Structure 1
């Protein structure tokens, strides 16, 4: 791989300087020639509670300056095997959510047509539905690993079909998902009734509530996920509120009793070997993240997604 592909190192430029791109990678206008494209979607007009995720991509990029190219835990060296750049933000319509979802789908059609795998910096969770529409056009229905405190399968919110609590209901209606290969991990909190989680179960989805994850490693769960998904194309959607607010308070809809950061890492690292065709990290809300730690965790999880993409060996003995 060319030197162009490398993040700017901390010995070449102080961590507090250099370009404001993901991992201080080269910026590029589109996905031409890339294996992987980091993309921001600065939106929060699908949010139902605390706004602020429109600022998420910028803050994740800023905190990502601390990341280095080699994964000390897994031995993955993604920049030795993949051409990666930051292609900036989707030009959303900040006044019209319905137009925005169509803008997102069209943008990702372009990324996928270039042959690149998109890794997305969110933005509220509404954005996953239009991405999955683009994925279906490219790959057909896909498997899904959805890590979240919430199922996001509402039919409507305030009478609207498009919102951050609805993306996976809309994706299911659009035929984007392989039902027996959908996994929702970390769901918890209060609800309006059993259907809040059981709607997915009734369609063949595997729903793993947070309480079933407490005090244990999730490596066995991810082994089961890999076996059930097999070689199907799979999309990973990671809502930062899946983590307990002790780890990630900077989000709009916090729920106590969530996953630990090491469980989050086990989930993403457990995707190694799958046919991962894209991923997103959503719902980082900088106004509620004064230390920057939530955005820093988000940046690290996106890097871990990069490390498990097809073509990146896991070298740890």
Structure 2
């Protein structure tokens, strides 16, 4: 569709006739579906579903990530005009991608939330689509991984974060965004030996056997070397990538609940993610974007870019296969 055709379009979040293709509508108007994809719960024929999980009741410090999915969607509208730079292909044109909306849950029944989210992702996977999820606090990754592990067994995890989120917690009823990967490893959801954490800069001596590439090593070794190390660890196994926005330094992403200095720069993340092309990515998420702490919107913009890179990674192997 050319720019001239934009005059005849009426909010492609609802009227897009084909789930493939770029969008040439005004970025400042219309419904804020992710990348101007069509909103739909019917995923027949859809390759990849974007879904939001506006949950932030597992945080240890500043709340606000319940507004993350909405902010990331809004930021993404400016990115729907062009093919992603540097990839050499356009996943928005080659694949049928839809916005499946947000998870519906009762905020007053927190104990029910994990199973509700697992069932939501299971339902999307059952329709034949993969998922890229917009959070929400980081706890949401655990219930999502459970749904994937039902089919694929223990999942190799690529985890970008300032924190390991593997602090010991043997109470499976606790809902905490700092302990869920401890539980994921202990319950056999995550394959620790094939997993890696990138950008870590808070102390937790027990890694549970997960490889770590601290932020300082990223700075010293460079993006290309880090991507090589990640790919060597994960191998060709089907994997999942979770990106906590606080992997970025607060200078690049101040809108998050537990910011830590010394983090990754946006250019480093862009280079690493693009150099991961070829991994067998099942799905991914972007979490911990907290708009109340960033009136500039820069954090949501970063989150939208990461989500688009995850789409590119997801599509790369499929188009080559």
Would you say same fold, with TM above 0.5? Answer: yes
**Is 1:187–2:200 an aligned residue pair?**
yes
* Partner residue in 1 for 2:288: 283
Task: Name 1:148's counterpart in structure 2.
Answer: 161
Equivalence for 1:40: 52
1:128 CA drift (Å): 0.4
**Pairing of 1:290-309 with structure 2 (within 5 A):** 290-309=295-314
Aligned 8 A contact 1:250 1:294 in 2: yes
2:112 to 94, 99, 109: 99
Q: 268-277 or 298-307: which moved more? A: 268-277
Q: Quick check: 1:199 aligned with 2:214?
A: no
Which position in structure 1 is the counterpart of 2:94?
81
- Count of aligned positions: 302
Q: How does 1:252-291 map to 2 (within 5 A)?
A: 252-291=257-296
The CA deviation at 1:157 is 11
The SS at the match of 1:180 is helix
Hey, what's the Cα distance between the residues in 2 that align with 1:186 and 1:91? 32
* Greater percentage in helix: 2
Shift of 1:31: 2.8
Deviation readout 1:23-81 (Å, 9 max, x if unpaired): 11111114332110000000110111111000000010011111034122121310232
- 1:252: how far off? 0.5
Deviations 1:84-109 (A, max 9, x none): 00000111221233211110001111
* Gap regions ≥5 residues in structure 2: 1-15
The TM-score normalised by the length of structure 2 is 0.89
Instruction: Give the drift of 1:223.
Output: 1.4
Given that 2:52 and 2:134 are in contact with CA atoms closer than 8 Å, whether structure 1 keeps it comes out as yes
Structure 1 residue matching 2:195: 3-state secondary structure: strand
For 2:71, the equivalent position in structure 1 comes to 59
- Answer yes or no: is the 8 Å Cα contact 1:245–1:256 preserved in 2: yes
* Cα distance in 1 between the residues matched to 2:171 and 2:151: 32
Runs of 4 or more above 3 Å deviation:
156-160
Matched, 1:118 2:131: yes
> What is the TM-score normalised by the length of structure 1?
0.90
Q: What's the CA shift string for 1:268-308, capped at 9, x where partnerless?
A: 22331111001000000010010111001100110011011
Structure number having the greater strand percentage: 1
SS of structure 1 residue aligned to 2:167? coil
Please state if 1:135 is matched with 2:142. no
CA distance in 2 between counterparts of 1:41 and 1:146 reads 18
Counterpart Cα distance in 1 of 2:235 and 2:163? 26
Q: Which runs of 5+ in 1 are unaligned?
A: none
**Considering only aligned residues, what root-mean-square deviation do their CA atoms show, in Å?**
2.0
Once residues 146 and 88 of structure 1 are traced to their aligned partners in structure 2, the CA distance between those partners, rounded to angstroms, is 24
